[in-house]
A and B are shown apart, each in its own frame.
Chain A
């Protein structure tokens, strides 16, 4: 299957570039003064966090279009984005505490951003469990779409809470109204890492989509 082959190559490219990110982050980016080596976790944690959230938004958007257009490709994409999003969420929820322990002295705090990521993760789990619990494909797609849209609508509320709360979590230093206050070298590493995570998202989602398609075709033949 051509789609699958292309997707595999994209993933391999992504993983190879990931190795390059590692080298750049670890050997060619300056060590931050206050946080020491632990700060470098940032270069993996932030892109993963962005894609965890973007993955959920895409599930929601695909779900909205699915309810109107009823195109099964949209449902397959939503399923793929959910699984990949959950995987990125796992990265955020593991690297986050590992970063937090030396910096804040605690593995977990209920600061708003960590809470958001945990909620996103729980939504992904719920979404995939719901899909697993419904046997009829038509019903499954519709139910998943309803849940996906609801999940997407929850995200802005949690963000609002972030800004209403004083938090331990580092304040935005890149995406804020004034110019990014991250030094050039570090910003470059972060952007490079973000591009690589994007490539990985695309590769993984396409493979997962292809898998769903293959399974449907196998079911039809059976």
Chain B
């Protein structure tokens, strides 16, 4: 296991959360403007 893996995982999870989260947010806002 290379070192600093937990940081990498944290960053990848957060990025995905932000991008998917924003996509969901936009989807819901465009359903009822």
Contacts and interface: CB of A to CB of B under 8 A. Distances in A.
Direct contact of A and B (CB under 8 A): yes
Interface of A: 4, 8, 11, 15, 18, 22, 26, 31, 35-38, 40-41, 44-45, 48, 84, 87, 90-91, 94-95, 98-99, 101-103, 200, 204, 207-208, 210-211, 214-215, 218
Given A22-B16, A87-B22, A41 B11 contact: yes
A38 B30 CA distance: 37
Interface in B1-33: 2-5, 7-8, 10-12, 14-16, 18-20, 22-23, 26-27, 29-30, 33
Q: Is the interface of A mostly helix, strand, loop or mixed?
A: helix
Contact of A41 (B7, B22, B29, B30): B7
Nearest to B26: A207
B19 A102 contact: no
A18 B27 contact: no
Given A44-B15, A91-B18, A204-B26, A36 B33 contact: no
Contacts of B30: 4, 207, 210-211, 214
Most B-side CB within 10 Å, residue of A18, A95, A210, A215: A95
Given A87-B22, A102-B4, A218 B33 contact: yes
11 contacts: A38-B8, A38-B11, A41-B12, A44-B12, A94-B11, A94-B15, A95-B11, A99-B7, A102-B3, A102-B4, A204-B26
B5 to A, nearest CB: 4
A22 B9 CA distance: 11
A75 to B, nearest CB: 17
Contacts of A211: 26, 29-30, 33
A91 B10 CA distance: 12
Nearest to A94: B14
A95 B5 CA distance: 14
Contact of A36 (B2, B12, B18): B2
Contacts of A101: 7
B7 to A, nearest CB: 5
Contacts of A90: 18
Given A31-B2, A218-B33, A15 B19 contact: yes
A132 to B, nearest CB: 15
A94 B4 contact: no
Contact of B3 (A36, A45, A210, A215): A36
Contacts of A102: 3-4, 7
